[in-house]
C-alpha cells in the first residue's frame, strides 16, 4: 500500500467518526472507545486469517501424535492470540442490521478476553448498545461495514498507524482533555530520533504513558532501522497510567503494534510497580505539568525523587492545626528526578516533555537544577514551537538525558536548540513537524555527536528524492536549509538555532543562573532584507505617504459619521 493509498484509507475511515457524532447516543469524549475497539476487532480478524492456513496445517500434521497441540495453542504461538469463531469480522458484518449487532460485538470481545488472558479488561464491551439508537438502528452496522474496507492483505504494521491516526484525531476533537492521553506523533518521533534506541534486550519506561505512543514510536524506530524480529521481541515496554479508560487505549495500542510489555493502572507519584530506580535502558514521557497536590510526606523518602532534592515550600502550608497535609509546591521537578533516577547508570538515555517554566524555575527548584546540571546528565534542551499539543498552546521544552555523558569530556556542556520557528501549520490552531523537519532537527544531534556521515547521507537522500520528484524545489529547500547552516558538514553553533554552552566561562550556564532555556543561549537572527540604504529610505517614504493618505480618509470618515449622528439625534 502506497503512502497516498494509506492516507486515503485513513481519511475514509475517519469519516466514520463524523457519522457516529451525528447519530450515536454517546458523550463527545466517549465515541473514541467503540471506534478503536472495532479497529482492534478488524486487526485481530485480518492477522488471524493471515496465519490460519499455517495453524490448520500444523494442527492436522501433529493430530493424534505426542506432539499434538490444540488450535488455540498453535494460534498463540503463530500470532500471539486465539480468535474464536464468534469474533470473526465477517460473522459480525454479515449479521442483520438490527440492534442485535451490538450484542454480537459485545459477545465477540468477551470471547476474545476469555480465550486470551492478556486482553482481559481491555476491550470496550459495554458501549455498543448506544450505537443502535431507535431512530437509526442500522448505525452500528454502517460503521462495522466501513472497517470491512480495510484490505485483508494490508501490512499489519499499518494497523498501528491507523490506530495512532485515530488517537490523534480524537485528541484534537476533544481539545484539552484529549491531550491527557495523546502526545502528537511528530513530537514523539523527533524525541526518538534524538535518543536513538538500540534493539535487543532493552527495557523502556513511561510512567505517564497515556495511550503508549512513546513506546510504539520507539519500536517503530528500531523496525525502520532494520532491527531483527528476534531483537524486537526482546524489547519490553513498561507504562504507568492512572486513568482506567486510557489504560485500555494504551493496551490496545501495544497489542496492535505487537509490542511486549505491560501497563499498570496507578498514580506514579505514590506507586512504583517496576522498582524503577536504575532499572531502565530508555525513557520517554510527557507527564502532566505543574501538578500541585502531591503530598510531601508520601514522596520525601522515595529514592525515585530524592537524588537531587525535592521541591519544598519555604513554610508549611496552612496552620498546624488545620489538618491539611503539606504538598509539594510544584511536581515538575519530582518528574524530572524520577526520569533521571530510573535510567541505568552509565548507559541509560531518555527524553521528556516539560513546561517551559521548569527551565528557569527559582527557589528550591533552582537548587535541584544546579545539582542536575553539575552532575552532567543533561545532553540536550529543545524549545518546541507553540500549538504543537492539543492540551496546551504555549511552547514546551524537551529535555534529553544521557547517563553516559557524565563520564565524557562533554560532561560540562549542553546542546541547546531553539526550534520555535521550525514547524508545519496543520490548521489555525495546530502545528506539527514534517518528516523532513524531524530529520533536519535530529541531524543537529548527530553532528554534535561527531557523526558527520549521517549528515552526508541525509544530503544524498534529499538529492535522490529531488532527482525523482515532481517537486524538486521542495527537496532543494531541504538541502539548502542544511548546507546554509552547516556548510562544512560538521557541527557549528548557528545563531537562532543551536548552541553548545559550557558550564563555566563568559555567557556560560553558570553566568545565566543555571537557566536551561535555549533562548538564553542561541540568540536571535536579524534577517537581512537585501535592500540598500537608499532603497530602505524610499520604502519608508512610500509607506509613510500611504499612512498619511489613510489618516486623511479616517478623518473624513470621522467627520461624516459625526454629521450623520447629528442628523439622527440632533445637536
At 409-424, the pLDDT tens digits run: 999 999 999 999 999 9
For residues 431 and 424, the answer to whether their CB atoms sit within 8 Å is yes
DSSP class of residue 246 equals H
- Complete edge-to-edge strand list for the sheet that includes strand 396-402: 261-265, 236-241, 203-206, 282-285, 349-355, 396-402, 378-383, 413-418, 498-502
- Report CA 309 to chain centroid distance, whole Å: 28
Architecture of domain 3-154: Up-down Bundle (1.20)
- Report CA 46 to chain centroid distance, whole Å: 27
Q: Mean pLDDT lowest for which of 140-149, 326-335, 408-417, 477-486?
A: 140-149
At 506-541, the pLDDT tens digits run: 889 999 999 999 999 999 876 555 566 666 676 787
Q: Distances from the Cα of 150 to the Cαs of 6, 9, 38, 117, 272, in angstroms? A: 10, 8, 12, 27, 40
For helices 244-256 and 156-174, angle between their N-to-C axes, nearest 10 degrees: 150
- Report CA 253 to chain centroid distance, whole Å: 13
Range picked from 245-249, 396-400, 558-562 for highest mean pLDDT: 396-400
pLDDT at position 179, please?
47
Task: Identify the CA nearest to 478 among candidates 435, 445, 448, 447.
Answer: 435
Q: What is the CB neighbour count within 10 angstroms for residue 290?
A: 11
| Element holding 430 (H helix, E strand) | strand 430-432
DSSP class of residue 415 equals E
Task: Identify the CA nearest to 239 among candidates 267, 214, 262.
Answer: 262
Choose between 315 and 317: higher pLDDT: 315
- Residue keyed to cell 535555549: 518
* Residue 307 three-state SS: coil
Strand pairing partners for 262?
238
At 353-397, the pLDDT tens digits run: 999 999 999 999 999 999 999 999 999 999 999 988 865 666 799
Amino acid at each position: 500500500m502506497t503512502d497516498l493509498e494509506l492516507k486515503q484509507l485513513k481519511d475514509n475511515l475517519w469519516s466514520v467518526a463524523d457519522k457516529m457524532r451525528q447519530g450515536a447516543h454517546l458523550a463527545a469524549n466517549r465515541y473514541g472507545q467503540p471506534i478503536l475497539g472495532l479497529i482492534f476487532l478488524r486487526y485481530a480478524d485480518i492477522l488471524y486469517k493471515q496465519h490460519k492456513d499455517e495453524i490448520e496445517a500444523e494442527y492436522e500434521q501433529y493430530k493424534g501424535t505426542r506432539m499434538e497441540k490444540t488450535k488455540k495453542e498453535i494460534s498463540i504461538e503463530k500470532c500471539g492470540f486465539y480468535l474464536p469463531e464468534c469474533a470473526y469480522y465477517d460473522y459480525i458484518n454479515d449479521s442483520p442490521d438490527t440492534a442485535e449487532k451490538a450484542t454480537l460485538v459485545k459477545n465477540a470481545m468477551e470471547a476474545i478476553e476469555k480465550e486470551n488472558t492478556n486482553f482481559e479488561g481491555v476491550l470496550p464491551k459495554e458501549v455498543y448498545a448506544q450505537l443502535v439508537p431507535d431512530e437509526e438502528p442500522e448505525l452500528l452496522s454502517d460503521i462495522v461495514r466501513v472497517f470491512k474496507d480495510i484490505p485483508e492483505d494490508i501490512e499489519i504494521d499499518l494497523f498501528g498507524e491507523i490506530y495512532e491516526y485515530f488517537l490523534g484525531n480524537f485528541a484534537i476533537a476533544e481539545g484539552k482533555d484529549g491531550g491527557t492521553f495523546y502526545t502528537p506523533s511528530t513530537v514523539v518521533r523527533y524525541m526518538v530520533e534524538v535518543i536513538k534506541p538500540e534493539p535487543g534486550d532493552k527495557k523502556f519506561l513511561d510512567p505517564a504513558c497515556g495511550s503508549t505512543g512513546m513506546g510504539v514510536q520507539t519500536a517503530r524506530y528500531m523496525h525502520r532501522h532494520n532491527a531483527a524480529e528476534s531483537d524486537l521481541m526482546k524489547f519490553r515496554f513498561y507504562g504507568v497510567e492512572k486513568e482506567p479508560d486510557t489504560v485500555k487505549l494504551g493496551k490496545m495500542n501495544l497489542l496492535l503494534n505487537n509490542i511486549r510489555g505491560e501497563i499498570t493502572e496507578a498514580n506514579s507519584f505514590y506507586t512504583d510497580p517496576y522498582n524503577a530506580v536504575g532499572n531502565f535502558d530508555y525513557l520517554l514521557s510527557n507527564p502532566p505539568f505543574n501538578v500541585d497536590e502531591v503530598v510531601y510526606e508520601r514522596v520525601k523518602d522515595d529514592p525515585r525523587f530524592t537524588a537531587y532534592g525535592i521541591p519544598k515550600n519555604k513554610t508549611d502550608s496552612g496552620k498546624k492545626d488545620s489538618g491539611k497535609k503539606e504538598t509539594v509546591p510544584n511536581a515538575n521537578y519530582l518528574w524530572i528526578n524520577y526520569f533521571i533516577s530510573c535510567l541505568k547508570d552509565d548507559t541509560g538515555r531518555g527524553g521528556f516533555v516539560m513546561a517551559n517554566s521548569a527551565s528557569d524555575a527559582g527557589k528550591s527548584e533552582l537548587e535541584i537544577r544546579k545539582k542536575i546540571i553539575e552532575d552532567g546528565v543533561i545532553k540536550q534542551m529543545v524549545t518546541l514551537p507553540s500549538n504543537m499539543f492539543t492540551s496546551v498552546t504555549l511552547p514546551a521544552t524537551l529535555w534529553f538525558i544521557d547517563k553516559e555523558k557524565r563520564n565524557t569530556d562533554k560532561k560540562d556542556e549542553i546542546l541547546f536548540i531553539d526550534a520555535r520557528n521550525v514547524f508545519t501549520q496543520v490548521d489555525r490552531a495546530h502545528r506539527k513537524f514534517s518528516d523532513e523537519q524531524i530529520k533536519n532537527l535530529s541531524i543537529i544531534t548527530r553532528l554534535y555527536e561527531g557523526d558527520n556521515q549521517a549528515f552526508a547521507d541525509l544530503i544524498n537522500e534529499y538529492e535522490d528524492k529531488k532527482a525523482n520528484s515532481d517537486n524538486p524545489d521542495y527537496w532543494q529547500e531541504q538541502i539548502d536549509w542544511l548546507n546554509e547552516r552547516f556548510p562544512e558538514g560538521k557541527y557549528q553553533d548557528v545563531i537562532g538555532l543551536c548552541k553548545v554552552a559550557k558550564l563555566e566561562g563568559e555567557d556560560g550556564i553558570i553566568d545565566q543562573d543555571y537557566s536551561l532555556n535555549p533562548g538564553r543561549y542561541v540568540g536571535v537572527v536579524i534577517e537581512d532584507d537585501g535592500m540598500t540604504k537608499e532603497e530602505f529610505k524610499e520604502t519608508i517614504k512610500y509607506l509613510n505617504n500611504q499612512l498619511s493618505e489613510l489618516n486623511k480618509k479616517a478623518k473624513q470618515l470621522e467627520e461624516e459619521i459625526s454629521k450623520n449622528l447629528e442628523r439622527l439625534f440632533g445637536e
